[in-house]
Amino acid sequence: MIVIDPAKCSGCRRCEVNCAFFHTGRVGRASSRIKVVKLEALGIDYPVVCRHCVERFCNRCPESAIEIGPLGQVLISPTLCTACGTCERLCPIGAIEMYGGIPHVCDLCGGEPRCVAQCTMGAITFAPAASGTVSLKPFREKARGATTEARRVCFALAETQVLRETWIAERGRS
Amino acid sequence: MNGYAGCILRVDLTSGEIRKEKTDPAEMRKVIGGRAMNSMRLIRELKRDIDPLSPENLLILGVGPLTGSLLSASAYTTISGKSPLTGILGDSAAGGHLGPEIKQAGYDQIIITGRAKSPCYILIADEHVEIREASHFWGRDIWETTTAIRKALDDNAVQVAAIGPAGENLVKFATVACNNSRMFGRTGMGCLFGSKNLKAVVVRGTGRITMADPPGYLELCRELDQRILTHPEYERRKKLGSTLLMKALNGIGILPVNHFQEGLCKYVDQVSGERLAERYKTKNKACFNCNIHCSRYYMTPKTEGEGPEFETLCSYTSRIGNRDLEFALSMTSYLNRMGLDSLSSGETIGWAMECVQRGLLTSEDLDGMDFSWGNTRTIEQIVRRMVHREGLGDAFAEGTRSLARRFGKGTETYALQVKGLDMICGDPRGIKAFGLTYAIASRGADHLRAEPFFELTGRYEEAEKRFGTRDAGDRLSDNGKAALVEYTERQALLTDCLTMCKNIGLSMDIIDFDFAARLLAAGTGLKFTPERINEALRRNIIGERKLNIDFGVSPEEDTLPRRFTHEPLPEGPSSGTVVPIDRMVKEYYRIKGWDENGVPG
């Protein structure tokens, strides 16, 4: 899976740009499968992307259009998918989003993630072995009724809480 | 369309009318985008003799054909109008993430006219455009406003360009901010927002930017990335951003100290970019699609935020004699929240401090405040009063030129401004081409109109080749500088039209006309060639010049404050020399083919 280090992320969104361009030849956040949450008031930037979670919430697709690829990535069958949006609603962290009638989720670019290659901060890495180690259960309750963007924000806040605490503890050091 | 979004949006706040026009490709070939596109709009549509604060003034947000694309640092938006601070052409550009969002929403340019009856904001969500009530946001600072708007819309991803109390109170050098701390800082565009009762422009775009030749464009963007990543200054810029200039300028004796009375700062290590990075930086920050990530997030025991850039850091440290870095960072946060330009506000303070030092003003003249160098209590007080236009702050809020005229008694000599715009933080006595830039720039004392950074890079062979003399690469020489400025003025405008960051396009000398033509052609599919681009740039530089002549600018104003032309710096590597500005300006006119009054034929 893709691993994020928020301490290094500058919020430039090169990952979004290159994801969208690789998949569509065009650039736009809506068609990117990785989306950076920017919380300017906290100095936080956090790219939200599929965590390859233990639960595989999205895999309860009513059309059985989703299968898990060899690298742990979510693969969606374009022929079986009816664009019902269930997978988007099921993902507790907003890592799947419909755009133009297609669910957009990270497919690891087939094993060579462009976001990793183009991140000049070293904030995004590819760790195949980490797939299936993260539980997203705690986010399920919080996700209920929230918009997809709001779920990403909620996840980003949780994932960066420790970082913020470290900054605060060290502020004005030396 | 390819590259361009294809639509120009007009919003009249008086009538509430919202109109959309198609972007005309033939016209775009002549203006490219960004600043030139905005300036051309002003040239065509603006009534010259209006009060800048009247509803007739235009307020234009413009992006370009490559904004928000795969091109690194294609992040910039330019806001233009008749400046309330200077009364001439006003514009200011900022990065952040606003510009790409405007493009994704489907617009190349947003033209705002009129004045709303009560505070409002403009909401743009793709094709949906709406003028909304903003009374409940009025009075709130920029950070609160941004958060509140995102909350109200239940969407953290909207981009907000907002003003703070300074803009609401019509401070003449109020700023507009996006992403909390990316500032449209100069010439008072925040004041224009305020004059139109416009608190914010809020944008959400879900569209995509399409290039004419995606594989060709990709290849060019990757080539450009290589130029950036292998640039000798890359690592330093990544670590320190523009704050590296504190020590760099001090090293050549041109760091403004006590209002440009000196060029060497004894306490530079206490207020340097290095010190800032080591002690207060938590991480890098970046504008859209940048691979330098030159901005920084800071945290002190008292405050936190993004920035500061060099101009703010210097304006609130050595320029006004302050050696307390934490205080400067607190001021950075405050200025960003309130929406006040650090350069212009810093200049009013420096002016007052020097006038007091010289006995031209006393504390009785200045609301009883003690304007001795680096007095942080006074600095804090006067800035607060400027923002709210309280007491003496009301006069300060008009800008240094007006302030000095009001006090008279010889204080005008120490108002360091050109055409009403306050000097940036780089002493021209040690960088002569910059001096010429400040004198002729179409928005007043400003480096970004030409930023002839070349003269600092010691590339003498290249200087001979490009500008006919090795002297063009010697910062202390005035020889060959008009040719250098004529060149970098086009390069600067080009960078503005590509809506790329000036640090990269210009200072790092990454973009040339040939490369830009290939990028534009691959991006838009229009027949851009280096010749056509240069023709467009030249035409626009002349257009801006003529516009300013219409606004009443005289050739006598193409000059520098007396300090830089008559008083050599007392010590350091730039001492003993001044800027022979008259000669340089004449040479510049000659190269341009303009008459002796600087009037284009």
Average pLDDT over residues A102-127: 97
ipTM: 0.97
> Which CATH topology does B427-497+529-592 take?
1.10.599
Contacts of B290 in chain A (CB under 8 A): 10, 12, 14
Q: A17, B218: Cβ pair inside 8 Å?
A: no
Strand partners, A126: A2
Amino acid at B515: F
Strand partners, A2: A126
**Chain A residues with CB-CB distance to B286 below 8 A:** 10-12
| A14 contacts in chain B (CB < 8 Å) | 289-291
Sign, CA dihedral B122-B125-B129-B130, equals negative
Q: Quote the radius of gyration of chain B (alpha carbons, Å).
A: 22
Residue B78's closest CA among B491, B487, B495, B425? B495
Please report, for residues B341, B430, B434, B474, B552, the alpha-carbon distance to residue B581 in angstroms, rounded to integers and kept in the order given.
27, 13, 11, 16, 21
CA gap B453, B451 in Å, rounded = 5
Return mean pLDDT, chain B: 97
Is B137 an interface residue toward A (CB < 8 Å)?
A: no
Banded model confidence at residue A172, pLDDT cuts 50, 70, 90: confident
- What CATH class has B7-204? alpha beta
User: Which A residues, 38 through 57, put their C-beta within 8 Å of a C-beta on chain B?
Assistant: 38-41, 43, 45
Nearest CA distance, A8 vs chain B (angstrom): 7
Give me the numbers of helices (H) and strands (E) for chain A, helices first please: 5, 8
For a pLDDT cut of 90, what percent of chain B falls above it? 99
Give the pLDDT confidence of B386-438 residue by residue, as tens digits.
Answer: 999 999 999 999 999 999 999 999 999 999 999 999 999 999 999 999 999 99
**pLDDT for res B192:** 98
Q: Where are the domains of chain A?
A: 2-166
Give the closest-approach CA distance of B304 to chain A in angstroms: 8
Q: Could you tell me if B301 lies within 8 Å of chain A, comparing CB atoms? A: yes
Q: Which of B504, B18, B565, B537 is nearest to B291 (CA)?
A: B504
Whether pLDDT at B246 is above 80: yes
Provide mean pLDDT across the span B31-36: 98
Per-residue model confidence as pLDDT tens digits over A43-63: 999 999 999 999 999 999 999
Helix (H) or strand (E) holding B239: helix B234-240
Separate counts of helices (H) and strands (E) for chain B: 25, 17
Interface test with A, best of B156, B178, B182, B275 (most A CBs within 10 A): B156
- Could you give the CA distance from residue B426 to residue B446 in angstroms, rounded to a whole number? 10
- Contact across the interface for A26 and B155, Cβ inside 8 Å: no
pLDDT band at A174 (very low <50, low <70, confident <90, very high): low
Among B282, B295, B324, most A C-beta atoms within 10 A, so best to mutate, is: B282
Tell me the domain boundaries of chain B: 7-204, 231-421, 427-497+529-592
Kindly determine whether residue B284 and residue A121, on different chains, have CB atoms separated by under 8 Å: yes
| Burial of residue A83 (number of CB atoms within 10 Å: 0-12, 13-18, 19+) | middle
Strand order of the sheet with strand B59-62? Answer: B18-22, B7-12, B109-113, B59-62, B77-82, B89-94
Q: Do B283 and A43 touch (CB under 8 A)?
A: yes
C-alpha distance from A133 to closest chain B C-alpha (Å): 28
Nearest CA in chain B to A26: B210
Give B453's Cβ-side CA count (13 Å radius): 18
CB < 8 Å to A147, chain B = 154-155
Q: Which residue is closest to A118 within chain B, CA to CA?
A: B291
Select from B208, B282, B299 the Cβ nearest to the Cβ of A27: B208
| CATH code of the region B231-421 | 1.10.569.10
SS3 B321: coil
Dist CA B409 CA B360 (whole Å): 7
Chain A CB contacts of B156 below 8 Å: 37-39, 149-150, 152-153
> Average pLDDT, stretch B56-69?
98
| pLDDT tens digits along B261-294 | 999 999 999 999 999 999 999 999 999 999 999 9
Q: Residue A71 — φ and ψ, nearest 5°?
A: -95, 5
- Whether residue A14 and residue B290 make contact (CB cut-off 8 A), yes or no, is yes
**A172 with B218: Cβ contact below 8 A:** no
Q: What is the pLDDT of residue B505?
A: 87
Reported pTM: 0.98
Residue position matching structure tokens 């985008």: B33
Of B208, B218, B304, the CB nearest to A28: B208
